[in-house]
Amino acid sequence: MLARVTTFALEGLEPRPVTVEVDVRTGLPAFTIVGLGDTAVREARERVRAALLNSGFEFPMRRLVVNLAPANLRKVGPGFDAAIAAAVLAASGQVPLLSLDGTGIFGELSLGGEIRSCRGTLSAAEGARTMGLQRLLVADERAGEAALVPGLSVGAVSDLRELAAVLSGEREQRSPVVEVALSHLPAPGLDLSEVRGQGEVVEALVTAAAGGHNLLMEGPPGVGKTMLAKRLAGLLPPLNRQEALEVTKIHSAVGLHSETGLMTQRPFRAPHHSVSVSGLVGGGSVPTPGEITLAHRGVLFLDELSEFARNSLEALRQPLEDGEITVVRRAGRATFPALVTVVAATNPCPCGHAGDGDRCRCDPQALAAHAKRLSGPIIDRFDLFATARRPKASEMETQPSPGLVTTERASTRVVEARRLQSDRWAGSSFGVNSEASEADLRECGQVSAAAFKQLSEAYEKGVLSPRGRLRLLRVARTLADLADSPDVEVDHIFGALSLRVRDTHR
C-alpha cells in the first residue's frame, strides 16, 4: 500500500515542501530511504523503527521504501522523522490513509516515540499555509511558534501515540494559545543614566538609534565604549509584528527560540573578534545564517574592531550596503536578511592611549600599522564616528540628577523620530533614513537648497566619497527628525559633518 504525507525541508530560511511517500509490499524485509537525504535522514530508519515498536505499534516486516520527493532537493536534519512514521502507519493500515490528506507533519522522533522540536518550525508553518494545508502537527515545544502564522490550524503532539490518535480521530487536536504582547523593555540595569562624561557619544548613540545608522566609537580602554553599545538596544523602538516574525524565523532556523514563541526584543549580537567569516556573515557546507543575520532588525556589536580578521571585516562590506547576503555553496545557495545597526568599538592605537594626554607610548611604525588594520571601504560603511574620552574625576562623582539623560527619555526621542520616518517613507520598501537613496531624500526628505549647497562644498573639498556623501545626507535627515524639523537645513549638514569626522589622534 502507498501512503503520502507532506513535510518540509529548510533551504536557508525558506521552507521547501517535501512529499514523504511510503510503499509497503510483500517481499524480503527491508527499510530503504531514498531522496538525497543526509546522514541524519538515513539514520531515521533506526529512529522510526524503534519509535514505532516502543509506542506499541507494529513495524511491518515487509519491503518498505520511503521516497522524499522531490529527489533533487537536498534533505538535511531529523525533521522528517514524524512524517515518515505517520506514513508508515498509514501504509500498513494502522491509521486511516485519508487522515494524511491536507495534513503537514514536522518533527524529530526519539527512540521512545516522543516527538521533539526541530529548527525551522516557523518556516515549516509558513510553508504549510502557502501550500493551503488544513493543519500542521508539530512538537509541543514549538507549537506556539508555529501558531504565530495566521490562517493555519496548528496541532501540538507530544509523542507518536498522540499523533496516531489525532490522525485516527480518537483524540481532539490540541491547539496552542498564543498571546504575546510586543513591549519595549530594555535589559534590567542597562540605562544611560549610568554613563558619565560621554555626552557627545550618547548623542551619537541616539542618532544611530533614530535613523538606523552605523556607529564607530574610538577611545582608550575602560572609558565605557562597551557599556554604551550595550545600551543601544534599549533605545530602539519595539518590533512591530512583521519584524518580530522575521526575527523569530531567523532564530528558529538556527534552533533558538523564545518561551512565548515570538521574539519580542530586538536582538543584540556581540561576536568575539576571533569569529570566522562564515560565523560572521553565514556559510557552512549547508548555508546557515551568521551573526549579521542573527542581528537582523537589531544591533550587531563588534568590540575591538581592529582585532577582527581582515577577511571577516571585508566580508561585511556587501551586506552592510545591501541589507542582505547571499551565501553560495556546493550544497546550494541561500539569501539571508541583514538589516542591522552596527556599533563598533576600537582603541586608537596598540596601547590604547593615543589622544589621552601623554600616556601613549606607541612609536610611529606601530601607529601606522594599527591604522592599516581597518580598510578605507570598511570605515566608509560607518555613518557616525564618536570619540569616547576618559571622564574627569568630577564627572565620575556626579550623582544622577533630574536633567541627566536616561534611556527612557532618549528612547522617547528615538521613537518620535522613527514615527516621522515611518510616515515619510510609507509605501516604500524601507522605513528608516539609513536605507533611503538620494532620490528618495530629494523627493520626500525636504532638503533645503542651502543645505544641498553646503553638502556640495564639503564634497568638493574631498572629505567625502560618493558613498560618504549619501550617508552624511541620511544622517542630516535624522538630525532634522530628532529636532522635529520638516526640512534639512544647513545646521543639520554641519551636525552630520561633525559626526562624520573621525578623530585619528595623530
Delineate the domains of the chain, giving CATH numbers in brackets.
1-166 (3.30.230.10), 190-394 (3.40.50.300), 435-505 (1.10.8)
Amino acid at 282: G
What pLDDT was estimated at residue 505?
A: 45
pLDDT interval class at 495 (50, 70, 90): very high
> Worst-scoring range by mean pLDDT, 48-57, 135-144, 199-208, 462-471?
462-471
The runs of H, that is alpha helices, within 117-260 are 121-131, 140-146, 160-168, 199-211, 225-230, 241-253
* One-letter amino acid for residue 268 of the chain: F
Q: What is the pLDDT of residues 242-284, one digit of tens each?
A: 999 999 999 999 988 776 678 888 999 999 999 999 999 998 8
At 22 the pLDDT is 98
CB 106 within 8 A of CB 121: yes
Mean pLDDT of all residues in 197-218: 94
Q: What is the pTM of this model?
A: 0.90
For 163-175, write each residue's pLDDT tens digit: 999 999 999 999 8
pLDDT of residue 199: 86
pLDDT of residue 432: 93
**pLDDT tens-place string over residues 349-387:** 888 877 766 778 888 888 888 888 899 899 999 999 999
**What pLDDT score does 68 carry?**
98
Q: What is the mean pLDDT of residues 440-447?
A: 87
What is the CB neighbour count within 10 angstroms for residue 64? 23
Q: How confident is the model at residue 157 (pLDDT cuts 50, 70, 90)?
A: very high
DSSP state of 390: P
Residues 6+ away with beta carbon under 8 Å from 305: 216, 273, 313, 344, 345, 346, 374
- Quick one: pLDDT at residue 506? 39
Lowest mean pLDDT across 180-194, 252-266, 338-352, 492-506: 180-194
Q: Sorting pLDDT into bands at 50, 70 and 90, what band is 396?
A: confident
The whole-number pLDDT of residue 403 equals: 56
pLDDT on residue 442? 87
Percent of the chain with pLDDT over 90: 71
Compute the mean pLDDT over every residue in the chain, rounded to the nearest whole number.
91
Burial code (b: 16+ CB inside 10 Å, e: under 16) for 11-48 equals: bbbbbbbbebbbbbeeeeeebebebebeebbeebbebb
Instruction: Classify residue 240 by its DSSP letter.
Output: P
pLDDT confidence of residue 401: 54
pLDDT at residue 105, as a whole number: 98
pLDDT > 90? residue 94: yes
pLDDT tops 60 at residue 6: yes
**Would you say residue 313 has pLDDT above 60?**
yes
Number of H helices, E strands in the chain: 21, 16
Average pLDDT over residues 132-152: 94
Q: Angle formed by the axes of helices 160-168 and 81-91, to 10°? A: 50
pLDDT band at residue 103 using 50, 70 and 90 as cut-offs = very high
Nearest-angstrom CA–CA distance, 398 and 401:
8
The four Cα atoms 156, 160, 166, 170 give a dihedral, to 10 degrees, of -140
The per-residue pLDDT for 286 is 84
Give the least confident one: 187-191, 228-232, 287-291, 315-319.
187-191
